[in-house]
Amino acid sequence: MLKESIQDIYCDQVVSVAPDALMGAAISLMREHSISCVVVTEDKKPIGILTERDVVRCIAEFGTGFMDRPIGELHTKHVFTVNQRSHIIEAFEAIADNQIRHIVVVNDKGEAVGVTTQSDLLEHLGYEYFVRVKTVDQVMNKQVFTISENAVLMEATREMAKRSVSFLIVCEDNTPRGVLTERDVARLAAGKGVAWDCPVKEVMSAPVHTAHRHDSAYDASERMREKGIRRLVVVDDHGKTIGVITQTDMIRGLESQYIDTMKTIIRQQGKELDRVIQRLSEKTLYLDSILSSSIDMGIIATDANLKIVYYNPAAEAILDVPACRALNRKIHDIHESESIDTGRLQQALRIIHEKHFHTFQFTRQRDGKTVHVQGRLSAIKGQHNGDLIGYVLMLQDVTEQHNAEETIRNLAFYDMLTGLPNRALFYERLYAEIARSRRNNSRFCLMIMDIDQFKKINDTYGHHTGDNVLKEVGRRLAMLLRGTDTAARLGGDEFAFILPDVEEQSAMMRLANKILHALDKPVVINDHTLNVRYSLGIGVFPDHGIDAEALYICSDEAMYKAKDLGRENSRSNVVFAD
């Protein structure tokens, strides 16, 4: 049964440390308890959190020299919390919106009483709500980060920190041999005498758990739950790596339980009404029976000649056509008066004679808003001789359902902070643009942009100001580019641009300078005027990569060169890929 409250699912054995505790002791606690985070508290109230990703970041930045430093200097300062009596959906939305894996559960006093994770929510929200007909290749992430078996462990750790990824796939000839995860790095950091210059193959997790691209997404999620892991490497028929499926991908595939339930109710109600109608006579008694069991269902009944003989109040409300204008008139006449193509009705009648019913959807305008309506037209036949008596049209206002589905799509494909396309939609458009450019033998430009010293903005003025800076950048970019261009936020302070049909390097540089010119204007947040700088790397298809991964890596490397240049000249910079 689906649980509703956070207190039904969270782990109440919270492992916490004071801000003056040493990093080495905190990491040892994580290893001892086999957990992915520890909570930093003062007077039992959470002030931060140390996760496996933080450990990877620290090793990449400081080597192992941070182990004797206080955790208060290095932990993630912003900790997301949820009250223990909150609905489970609130935690789900926080994890999805903020792209995090841990939420600290607090009581009414604000004291930390537990932690809930992405894994907890997926298990208790119910894997059965995944669309079971979907296959792994429909929900997997095609962008994978791989490393050789002989790569040095410290090099791999720095690569994980640079890419902000939770794992790297260890491959030889694109065949997965193992994975190196954040948990592996944290475990090694807690150990003694780790040789950080050893090859990855000596410390990686192996064998690697895989899924075939044609496996069902539901089976893949069950396999992750059974193995207690957070990701599967996706392979093709030859065992070659083609993607990865993670719990985050599963969250995107999770449909609202409410929407699924409503769809089921509507289908069941339609079937039940069909059975009732076929059993009752042509007299109007059956209409009252239907009305009493379907108060919000618009019902219109006609005779065999399509003259309306019954029209309930719900139909008036849904169609915004009063009964006095509908009763005793033929449906053809109403269609003509409403400027509706009568050919649609004729097509529906032909379908009904073959299948006995026809379902369809349409929209109407009411008070300046679009109303989405789902309809089902069925034939009414005599109980004894099967002769056609008339037709019944059932109408359901599904605007709320439609809007909920649109919301789900926006959550899946758009960044909630800036309104720009997110990483998932960015890669979908990047794959499409590569395919189009191959067909047309044309070039296009991929730009990767970072905000320089964005962490300093957050630390100095707070995350609220940092969020407003990101919003302003998103607003300016949305106004700047062409309709065929894509500006996306990939996460954090990283943005990307897909600019089709830009052939010459000089034109690409003009576009880059146009972007920087629009962004270089000071950003005013409350009483603060911020002069924000940017680093922009440019890659060109197919010059710098013939597939999405290669093109992204070249553009990203160019961006980091621009960032290095910015440290020297203290201004925004553009660098072309080599």
Q: What confidence category does residue 2 fall into, taking pLDDT thresholds of 50, 70 and 90?
A: very low
Residue percentage of the chain with pLDDT more than 70: 87
Distance CA 445, CA 554 (A): 12
pLDDT digits (tens, 9 = 90+) for 228-243: 788 899 999 888 999 9
Catalytic annotation, pick one of 493, 527, 543, 578: 493
Q: Percent of the chain scored above 90 by pLDDT? A: 35
- Alpha-carbon span 223 to 217, nearest angstrom: 10
| Rounded-to-10 torsion of CA 87, 93, 96, 98 | -110
Sheet holding 210-212, edge to edge: 210-212, 231-235, 241-246
pLDDT 10s digits, 185-213: 888 887 766 788 899 998 898 888 999 98
520 is catalytic: no
Range 308-330 average pLDDT: 86
| pLDDT at 516 (0 to 100) | 93
Q: In this structure, what token pair is assigned to residue 35?
A: 């957990």
Sign of the four-CA dihedral 418, 421, 427, 433 = negative
Tell me the sheet residues that pair with 488.
Answer: 496
Distances (CA, A) of 140 to 215, 427, 489, 555: 11, 12, 20, 23
DSSP annotation string for 419-435? -SB-HHHHHHHHHHHHH
Q: What is the pLDDT of residues 359-390, one digit of tens each?
A: 888 888 878 888 888 888 888 887 667 788 88
CB 262 within 8 Å of CB 401 = yes
Mind listing the domains of the chain with CATH numbers? 6-125 (3.10.580.10), 136-252 (3.10.580.10), 258-401 (3.30.450.20), 414-576 (3.30.70.270)
Q: Which token pair is 78?
A: 């912003």
Position with higher pLDDT, 77 vs 287:
77
312: helix, strand or coil: coil
Token pair 């210059």 is found at 197
Work out the pLDDT band at 438, boundaries 50, 70, 90.
Answer: very high
**Residue 132 confidence (pLDDT):** 45
Contact (Cβ atoms closer than 8 angstroms) between residue 309 and residue 301: yes
What SS3 class is residue 245?
A: strand
Model confidence at 263, in pLDDT bands (50, 70, 90)?
very low
Determine the residue type at 473. Answer: V
Q: Of 269 and 209, which is predicted with more confidence?
A: 209
Distance of alpha carbon 80 from alpha carbon 35, whole angstroms: 18
> What number of residues does the chain have?
578
In sequence order, which residues have a C-beta less than 8 Å from that of residue 261 and are 6 or more positions away?
A: none
Rounded to 5 degrees, φ, ψ at 270 are -65, -45
Measured in degrees and rounded to the nearest 5, phi and psi for residue 38 equal -125, 145
Please name the amino acid found at residue 449.
M
- Give 113-149 as a DSSP string: EEEEEHHHHHHHH-GGGB-TT-BHHHHSB----EEET
Instruction: For residues 456-478, give the mean pLDDT.
Output: 93
Cα–Cα distance, 456 to 532 (Å, whole number): 11
Q: Measure the N-to-C terminal CA separation of the chain; round to a whole number of Å.
A: 56
